[in-house]
Every structure is written in C-alpha cells, then in structure tokens.
A and B are shown apart, each in its own frame.
Chain A
C-alpha cells in the first residue's frame, strides 16, 4: 500500500490508523503469522498500532503481547502466565534513555563511571539471558538515544561525568553483546532520533503527558524501521535492483547526447551527484544485492554509456542488462525469469514517473521508490529499508558471482542439443549431510525465504532448526552444490520426522536457481539412504498448495510416490514404500561420500 511506503505521511497514518488497518486486512495477504511480545520501558500503545500496519503491509500478520506500562524487565525476568503461554516468536524491547536508572554526575571519576556502566549493562544482560533461557527466541533491543539536555554542554561527550559520554559508552557495550550473540538485534534509535531530529524526537510533552519515550509523530518512523528488521529476519528482503540508465544512473540521454555528452564523473557538481549514486549502488553489490539494467535504449548505446571512463559501474557489474524498447514491466519479468527470482524481490529504480506508474500498475509486488531529485536518490533507497541486513553470510557476499555464473550456465545450456549432455558438462559435485552448526543460519534463512520450490512452506526459527538437528527423531539433510562455474552454496533442505517405521517429510525445499539440475534426485537418494539405515519402510510426503508453489504440485509423483489422499483445498499426501527396491535416481552429480 502506497501510504505505508517511504516517505509515508506519519500524521495521516496516526489519524487514519483504523481505516488503514481495515483496508490492509481486506486487500493484502496471504499473511505469515508471527507472535511478537513488546516489552516497553515507556508507553507502547501507538508503537504497536503502527508496527501492525507496516507488518501487514509486508505480508506479516502479528499477534501482540504488550507488557504493562514500564514493566519490561519484570516481564523478561519473571514472566507472567500470559507471556509464558503466549510463546513469542520474537521479543521487542522498547527502552530508551528514559529508562537509565542512574547517570554519573559531574566530577565522577572514570572508575566510578565504569562501575555505573557495568551495573546498568548487567541489568539488561540478565534480562537477555533470562529471555534466552525461557523463550529462546530472537530479541530486538533498542539502543539509547542521546539525552535531550547536556549539563556540561559540549564537555558532556568526553567527560566521564557526562550523560552523553555515559550513553555513548553504554551503547558500545550493547553492540559488543550484539556482535557476540546470534539472534540479538539492535534497533538503532540513536540513528533514528538523529535522523528525525533529537529536539522533536525527545519533546518532553509526550513523556510527561503520556509517558512516550519519543514524540508520537516519530512513532511511524520507529515502527517502519522495526518492521524492516522483522521482515529481513523472515527472509522478506528485496534481492535485486533493476536500474534505469538515462537521467537515473547518469545525466542526459545516451542515444541523443552520445556517451561523451553524458553528465557523470568528478568534473562538475551534477556529475559528482551521479557518481555518488553509482558508488552507492556498487557498495550495495558488495552486500549481495543483484544489479540489473532496465533501460529504453539500443543495447550498444547502453553499453557505450556504461563503458564511459567516468562511469563507476561497468557492464560486468550487472547480471542482466535489458536495454531495448520493450515496456519496462516486461523487462522486469524477464530479469526475474533469468535470475530465477520472484518479481516481488526486485526494486525498480527510475527517474521517470510515467515508467514508475506503469510498473506499479502491472506488477503490484515490485517495489517502486519515488526517485525525485538526483541528490536524494541514495536517501530514498536507503531509508526504504529494502535491504536491511540482519545476517550476512559468505553466500551473501558471493551472490553476484553466483548469479552471473548461472547466466553463463544458461548460455551453455543453449549450446547443447541434449539436456543430459549439458548436465554432464557442468561437472557437478554435491555435499549432502545432516545439519551442521555453522550452517544453521543459512538453513533458517532458506526456510523463511523459499516460496516456489517448497512443498510445505514451513517457516522455521533458528531455535527450531537447532532442535531438529539435535533430536534423533528427525532426519535432516542439507545439500550444497558446486559445478565448473562455481559454488552455489547450500541450495536444498529436507527435514523428516520419524514415527515408528515411517518417515514424514515436514519440509522439502530447494533454491530455484538449481532447478532441474538433478539436485532433487540427489536429495531423494540421500533421504532413502538414511531411511534404510534406520530400517524405515515408508516415506510420507506432504504438499500444501500456496499462491507460489504450484511448480512442486506433482513433485512426489515425479519421485515415484503414490497419492494417498487429497482434500478439498488441494493438500495432498503421498507415500513411497518398498525402499529395498529403490534405485538411486541421481545420474549427473557426484555426491561426496
């Protein structure tokens, strides 16, 4: 919904929250349900109301537990029955500088301040540990915003008796904790308040009147930012950019002005603005965001512009370059098809409002930020939170390479007459093993973001994954695939639950970028092998249809299962028996012993 995209009108949202909520529930969905406990050190009423709107807009339907006013610590340390039985999927601790129990005073020594810091930090650490033991769910914790007054003025920042110094140091201790604990995330209200304006953010009216730690007009910004962390944790980040060229990546029209007439590079101030945007995109690439071109141009002109000596992005920085005279929505679909990702994972960046309107109308899931003035391009993309990072793995770093390799594979495929010959030429090798601790993160990520090749669309938290990995009642397998073009990383996950002599497959997913490479078969062989080791006689497979997983509707049939039942919603149950006679199906992948 446009009203909930950056830059949203906060006042409108606060005023019309009831109507907006109704509209979202009517038009959006299907939703992922999540239980979120909000433990506040101040009033959280509108924080929750706004968070709900932004989450619904991201396809997440939250159910909330709200602590009594100011009782965040007690709730975490000694949970009430209501919180216990709520079993949160996520805990958000909304605290602020208003919750700091004791500040140092002017004249206090470094040693005294150190002690105070330890005391204050311990208070929080105990609480996080208690949550870890009792709930084992991810935690999002606010850091501290700067104080709204400074007793010593500027010296407050450096003097051990200063509040600014105290808050800065305490924040550092929080960051150290975040770095050394998985599934503990900082929501940086120090940054948010600075960006909003500390003076307005900390308006004492709202504290004294309603015990809000921030001014109510800032709550939508806080909630939007929080919704971005949550959607990122659930694997709902955007994956790719489709960028226009003329007047977006550079100033001018390459077809008319020629590459030499384009505005970019260090010579002029306008050229520098485009240069700054180019280097921002290049930096996003390092995060694993896939860069693509979507431009109305002759291909040779597009390439001539990209090869301009002052252009910081070269043709090689992009995976797919769609430079033609097709409609841009068609080009986005083509980019999505080539990359094997959903169009909803793409952000379309174009200075032309008419092009943006067409894409919005034809492809409602694609993100289309309002790119208004060149000097604000970076800010618009950055503040939209499309790529909020909550985990950063080796696979993320290498993602651009992996996708480029994929496009090369597709080129190779076209040159073979026989598909089997093509698969052989890929020289594929796989590792198929039980879950290993270093991969828990990646496996969790996959269960949350795979939509198409996903038989049950079961979403798992890391706690679920660890539990199943350690419980002997489960057979869990991951598959990692390498070929002559490179390492595809972990691409498939299967989890089965053993009940007597039967295995029930609770989850089977695969990354679409390795579709039809024989990895499905190799995983199947792996499952059967482990079943034989445990004398399991039957395997039951389940398919639950969603809007996105139609491609695996007949997967179990293709794997030789027979259909046991189908209900009115299209949910199907499949069985494979006679495992003694099963013959391995994989022919093209060398599986490591």
Chain B
C-alpha cells in the first residue's frame, strides 16, 4: 500500500513530465492556478498520465469535482 507522500511524489513526477518543467513542486493545496499551462484542455493529459501510472480509470464525476491536487491524491488512494 502506498502512503500519501509516495502518491504525491509520483504525482510530482507526472506533473513535471506533462508540463515539461522540472521546478514544479506540488502539494495538497496546489490548483491549476499555480501551474503554468494547466488549463482545462491540458487537464486531460494529466488525467491520462495519472490513469496510466496508477492503472485505474477516473469516473467523469470525479474529474468534474476535483478541486486541487489533494483531492486527486484522495481519489488515487481510494482506488489503489
């Protein structure tokens, strides 16, 4: 079982890959406003990369209601 920190670490890597920026440091309260290029259309690539990394599929309802990185971690932990 992965810990919250481990999930966050993996997520950080994914964010760096998707937004091609090695200076990104995400935490629970990170939102799209904090990261350059994270708009609604780029969100899909993030979602896909997370699905691929953790091997599950988000439901539409989850994607719609996700507000920040912390909520994304909650969903991932529940799915693992």
Contacts and interface: CB of A to CB of B under 8 A. Distances in A.
A258 to B, nearest CB: 50
A208 B52 contact: no
30 contacts: A11-B48, A11-B49, A11-B52, A14-B45, A14-B48, A15-B17, A15-B18, A15-B49, A16-B18, A16-B20, A17-B45, A18-B18, A18-B19, A18-B20, A19-B17, A19-B20, A22-B20, A43-B41, A46-B41, A46-B45, A209-B44, A209-B60, A209-B63, A209-B64, A210-B40, A210-B41, A212-B44, A216-B44, A216-B48, A217-B48
B14, B18, B44, B49 interface centre (most CB from chain A within 10 Å) = B44
A582 interface: no
B65 to A, nearest CB: 12
B60 A45 contact: no
Interface string A529-558: 000000000000000000000000000000
A205 interface: yes
Contacts of B14: 15
Contacts, number: 43
A3 B7 CA distance: 28
A217 B18 CA distance: 15
A15 B47 CA distance: 10
B10 to A, nearest CB: 13
Interface of A: 11, 14-19, 22, 43, 45-46, 205-206, 208-210, 212, 216-217
Contacts of A19: 17, 20
B52 A46 contact: no
Given A17-B45, A22-B20, A209-B63, 14 more contacts: A11-B48, A11-B49, A15-B14, A15-B49, A15-B52, A16-B18, A16-B20, A19-B17, A46-B41, A46-B44, A46-B45, A209-B60, A210-B40, A210-B44
Contacts of B52: 11, 15
Contacts of A15: 14, 17-18, 45, 48-49, 52
A210 B20 CA distance: 22
A43, A205, A206 interface centre (most CB from chain B within 10 Å) = A205
B62 to A, nearest CB: 11
B60 A208 contact: yes
A199 to B, nearest CB: 14
A19 B64 CA distance: 28
Interface in B29-80: 40-41, 44-45, 48-49, 52, 60, 63-64
A427 B41 CA distance: 65
Nearest to A16: B17
Contacts of A11: 48-49, 52
A184 B24 CA distance: 45
Contacts of A210: 40-41, 44
Contacts of B41: 43, 45-46, 210
B14, B17, B63, B64 interface centre (most CB from chain A within 10 Å) = B17
A580 B25 CA distance: 77
Contacts of A46: 41, 44-45
Contacts of A217: 48
B51 to A, nearest CB: 9
